[in-house]
Structure 1
Amino acid sequence: MPPSSMIERPDVQVEGIARRFGGTAVFEDVWFNVGKGEFVCLVGHSGCGKTTILNILAGLDAPDDGSIIVSGKEITGPSLDRAVIFQSHALMPWMTAAQNVGFALSCRNPHWNRRMCEDAAREALGRVGLSHAADRKPAQLSGGMKQRVGIARALAIQPRILLMDEPFSALDALTRGALQEEVSRLVTDSGQTGFMITHDVDEAILLADRILLMSNGPGARIAEVVVNTLPRPRTRASLHHMPGYHALRDHVLDFLITRSREFVATNPPAGWSARAVPESRPVA
């Protein structure tokens, strides 16, 4: 993807947003773009407001300052064009896995009959390896299986923008790797725009076209935007063999360990704010 300043028609424009709780700004003056078909990961320490930013993008919360433009319009609430995969599965306990996915499909496609929704739901569950569990209710599923139903539900409605809040964190390593690659493939093949919050540096490197590095809160901001130049397709198995992987990983880890704490002290809001999207750059 091109640097953020070169994206002519971004799908998402985050323009100087801030969110305050009890008079304290968790984050402020946050600017970034996400291009159409781009996959962006937001990385930062706990407490810097990453989930709140995702909730604002989803229309589930509102900023105290600034605005978010999606597909040329300022968002005012949730939309089926923006699907969310949460950390928790958020399934309706009285419905089977297929019914949970089918309900979302019926909302997205109100002209579909019940059979069409059920067939599409079972197909979506098959893509995440849950064909055998389609008729089970959430209480009959493991934690990882519940999360896979949530992922299947979000992917099934084919949203324009897929928002993800650490959706793989509760899964075992093998399942996590398989679903990461599947989500990456599906988003890339469909031309969807992806935005994910993660604490996993390797996950960000595997999935992202660009990685947004967020400083520590309170008063957190986007400190740096790193272009991921590793070629696609990427897999968990081959990632650490790619030229440039270790330099990129070390750069992101160094930010999390050291530079994220130093950024606010050396870049106070009044001096830093240029009212512009931070420039994207590759890691040498």
Structure 2
Amino acid sequence: MNHAYVSVEGIARRYPGATIFEDLWFGVNRGEFVCLVGHSGCGKTTVLNILAGLEKPSDGEVIVDGQAIEGPSLDRAVIFQGHALMPWMTAEQNVAFALSCRHKDMPRAQLRDAAREALERVGLTAAADKKPSQLSGGMKQRVGIARAFAIAPKMLLMDEPFSALDALTRGALQDEVARLVSEADQTAFMITHDVDEAILLADRILLMTNGPDARLAEVVVNTLPRPRMRATLHKLPGYHALREHILDFLITRSRLMAQGLPADWNPRHAPEVRPGA
């Protein structure tokens, strides 16, 4: 995995009396979008927190661009499930604050212009002077997305950022993120429960067995052509085979594999499959 931009090398997370996951190995290539899918309790959020530098693994390490993660970094921006905006600041000020952390000597006027440009990219020009309490849930997440992209991170980490939104808003933001990631050639890692979200966004989908003692069971390569739009995703050749493969894993195989992995299972080389290819 040393060739990967991000190399997750044998990480585990244990608490007294319980192992959440064990011996995870996978890589994320530069410019690649990877989704991690699995049932609640398999440690998805913990994996993302380790990638963000917010938690330390019990074993193993994560290498990003040749350097081991030692803590949080502006090179790894996080979009959380909740918007995580500062309520006393306007949308523009929330984005400008992140920019000021990245560019400590940037003049105030330039920070304001850069923040407004970032908000314009997510369709929030008219909301720049509004505080979070004046924004809808979808608009708050758009501010969070604008803030993350504004600092030009080397890696974008997303913790189910659309799960609390209504279906129409969620679909619109998924399309928005797909566009922004593509335009920026952004390296991205997302955890999700939404199979169609993973199929829409990801180049590869990592499937976790059920926890506790969860493992990485399979790496699914998404061969559906880009650009992908949620409204037409189901019409793409190979979509149904890909979706059924992931659903079969979540409904049946994840539970069975948690009860006993094959004798020849190698954590460093989870099988890579291309359903429908």
**TM-score after normalising by structure 1:** 0.93
After TM superposition, give the deviation of residue 131 of structure 1 in Å.
Answer: 1.4
Per-residue CA deviation, residues 69-110 of structure 1 (Å, 9 max, x unaligned), is 111111000111100000011111111110000000111112
Residue of 271, 274, 277 corresponding to 1:282: 274
1:72 aligns with 2:70: no
Query: Matches of residues 239-258 of structure 1 in structure 2 within 5 Å?
Result: 239-258=233-252
Question: Retained in 2: the 8 A contact 1:251–1:283?
Answer: yes
Residue identity over aligned pairs, in percent, reads 70
Query: Matches of residues 260-279 of structure 1 in structure 2 within 5 Å?
Result: 260-267=254-261, 274=266, 276-279=268-271
Question: Retained in 2: the 8 A contact 1:40–1:212?
Answer: yes
After TM superposition, give the deviation of residue 275 of structure 1 in Å.
Answer: 5.1
Residue of 86, 90, 96 corresponding to 2:80: 86
1:46 aligns with 2:76: no
User: 1 CA distance for matches of 2:138 and 2:173?
Assistant: 11
Per-residue CA deviation, residues 214-266 of structure 1 (Å, 9 max, x unaligned), is 11000001111000000000001111001100000000011110011011222
Residue of 14, 27, 30 corresponding to 2:21: 27
After TM superposition, give the deviation of residue 274 of structure 1 in Å.
Answer: 3.1
1:201 aligns with 2:195: yes
- In the alignment, structure 1 segments of 5+ residues that lack a partner are none
> What amino acid is aligned across from residue 58 of structure 2 in structure 1?
D
After TM superposition, give the deviation of residue 142 of structure 1 in Å.
Answer: 2.1
Question: Retained in 2: the 8 A contact 1:13–1:32?
Answer: yes
Question: Retained in 1: the 8 A contact 2:24–2:267?
Answer: no
Q: 1:24 to 1:230 in 2, by over 3 A?
A: same
Per-residue CA deviation, residues 16-73 of structure 1 (Å, 9 max, x unaligned), is 1110122200111111111111000000001110000000000000000111111111
User: 2 CA distance for matches of 1:67 and 1:176?
Assistant: 33
After TM superposition, give the deviation of residue 278 of structure 1 in Å.
Answer: 1.9
> Which residue of structure 2 aligns with residue 58 of structure 1?
52
Indicate the SS of the match to 1:240: helix
Q: Let me know the Cα RMSD of the aligned residues.
A: 1.5
Residue of 131, 143, 147 corresponding to 1:149: 143
- In the alignment, structure 2 segments of 5+ residues that lack a partner are none
Indicate the SS of the match to 1:152: helix
After TM superposition, give the deviation of residue 181 of structure 1 in Å.
Answer: 1.8
User: 1 CA distance for matches of 2:132 and 2:264?
Assistant: 48
> What amino acid is aligned across from residue 215 of structure 1 in structure 2?
T
After TM superposition, give the deviation of residue 273 of structure 1 in Å.
Answer: 6.1
After TM superposition, give the deviation of residue 146 of structure 1 in Å.
Answer: 1.5
